[in-house]
Amino acid sequence: MVKVAVVEGDGIGHEVIPVARDILAAVRPDFEFFDVEVGYGLWERTGCACGEETMAELRSADAILFGAITTPPDPDYRSVVLQIRHDLDLYANVRPIQGGDVDIVIVRENTEGLYSGIEWTEPDRACTARVVTRRGSERVARYACTLAKSRRHLTVGNKANVLKSDCLFVEVCMAEAARANVPCTARYIDALCLDVLMHPDRYDVIVTTNIFGDILSDAAAYLVGGLGMLPSANIGERHALFEPVHGSAPDIAGQNIANPIAAIRSAAMLLRHVGDPAAAAAVEEAVRRVVDAGIRTPDLGGTAGTREFGAAVLREVGRGK
Ligand code: NAI
Ligand code: MG
């Protein structure tokens, strides 16, 4: 029995996650789903976006399917996504950038770096500490090396020329790569961003620190049709959470025009994680066939709605059985 916690979250999370859940339920009727409410809407009503009880519910799941949460730039509001990644110790954020000839996997350190949550404000100064630890670097580097071993090579995105914290990150990643016998190159993140866009064929697995991975993956979405396409997995020792890379997209929420592919592909990553690569491949193949048949949401130049696209994928999944 696989227990899946479902967090729709805010904005287009309410549209793309039901589509992804229906597809999961179709390929795995034995999965047990339960809804967990988290996010801005809850915070507005109760003053708490994600309390201890909610965290206990999330911990009880074998896997979490997650939409997106609106985070207002309000000093009293702590990002729930960061809280969950931190509290469940989801240290590796795996973001495949795949489509056409592009096949890159970004592995982003997910619990520390500039998003460690160590911040303070003074009247005329605000500070955010960037913390990189040997343990945090080792475990994400090990994850990236294991992935790169079955692929081609590893690139370490960094800014060690100006940041002491990245000297440690690069040192640890190079040592792990040498130990795993994975070819590895360190590249400065700013030049790397441009090079990934110009020569995606040069890249395979890229490991980097928290904020750099956040920015690089959104930029790399350009290579494969935009943010509506990118899935992700947040992996820890005990827990795993699967979510589209995009946010709650308030500008298009409630209009049935959001692209659900990122959410559906995240569900496929969930299937692979719980040991069902065949179902994962069937879902990914169904998405490909629907897109090839010209059924696309407006961000991909089509006219299909979120629900209509989802229904087409469900039909394809049924046909493939
Ligand atoms: P966003 O990713 O929500 O949207 C950026 C742009 O991409 C928007 O124009 C949006 O319409 C478009 N877009 C995103 N997903 C799409 C989809 N599936 N189909 C078609 N178009 C899509 O990022 P933004 O606007 O910077 O942030 C909006 C809110 O989401 C903020 O409150 C932010 O804090 C939150 N956020 C939450 C994340 C999470 O929960 N993991 C991640 C990123 C942002
Ligand atoms: Mg982001």
195, 221: one domain: yes
Q: Tell whether 12 is covered by a domain.
A: yes
Q: Tell whether 53 is covered by a domain.
A: yes
- Domain boundary among the residues 177, 203, 226 is at 226
What pLDDT was estimated at residue 30?
A: 97
CB atoms within 10 A of CB 84: 23
Which ligand approaches the C-alpha of residue 95 most closely? 2
In the chain, pLDDT over 90 holds for what percent of residues? 89
What pLDDT was estimated at residue 321?
A: 67
Does 50 contact ligand 1 (Cβ within 6 A)? no
200, 244: one domain: no
What pLDDT was estimated at residue 47?
A: 83
Q: Tell whether 231 is covered by a domain.
A: no
26, 62: one domain: yes
**Residue nearest to ligand 1 atom 1, measured at CA:** 247
Report how far ligand 2's centroid is from the alpha carbon of 25 (Å).
28
Does 230 contact ligand 1 (Cβ within 6 A)? no
- Domain boundary among the residues 177, 195, 226 is at 226
Report how far ligand 2's centroid is from the alpha carbon of 247 (Å).
7
| CA-closest candidate to residue 250, choices 48, 70, 28 | 70
- Active site annotation includes 115: yes
pLDDT tens digits for 272-289?
999 999 999 999 999 999
Catalytic residue among 159, 166, 203, 276: 159
Q: Tell whether 298 is covered by a domain.
A: yes
Does 81 contact ligand 1 (Cβ within 6 A)? yes
Q: Tell whether 49 is covered by a domain.
A: yes
179, 143: one domain: yes
- Active site annotation includes 299: no
Q: Tell whether 2 is covered by a domain.
A: yes
Give the residue-averaged pLDDT of 140-154. 98
* Closest ligand 1 atom to 80 CA: 40
Averaged confidence pLDDT in the chain: 96
CB-CB contact of 20 with 54 (8 Å): no
Collapsing DSSP states into helix, strand and coil, what is residue 4?
Answer: strand
| pLDDT of residue 44 exceeding 90 | no
218, 257: one domain: no
| pLDDT of residue 236 exceeding 70 | yes
pLDDT tens digits for 14-28?
999 999 999 999 999
48, 35: one domain: yes
163, 218: one domain: yes
45, 69: one domain: yes
pLDDT tens digits for 241-264?
999 999 999 999 999 999 999 999
| Enclosing domain of residue 184 | 94-226
| pLDDT of residue 117 exceeding 70 | yes
Q: Name the residue with higher pLDDT: 253 or 51.
A: 253
Give the number of domains in the chain: 2
Q: Domain with 248 in it: what CATH number?
A: 3.40.718.10
105, 211: one domain: yes
127, 52: one domain: no
pLDDT tens digits for 258-267?
999 999 999 9
244, 303: one domain: yes
11, 86: one domain: yes
Does 228 contact ligand 1 (Cβ within 6 A)? yes
C-alpha pair distances (Å), 47 with each of 50, 82, 309: 9, 18, 36
- Domain boundary among the residues 206, 226, 246 is at 226
Q: What is the pTM of this model?
A: 0.96
pLDDT tens digits for 95-111?
999 999 999 999 999 99
pLDDT class of 271 with cuts at 50, 70, 90: very high
Q: Tell whether 265 is covered by a domain.
A: yes
Which ligand approaches the C-alpha of residue 244 most closely? 1
Residue of 16, 80, 90, 227 best suited for mutating to test ligand 1, as the one with most atoms within 8 Å of CB: 227
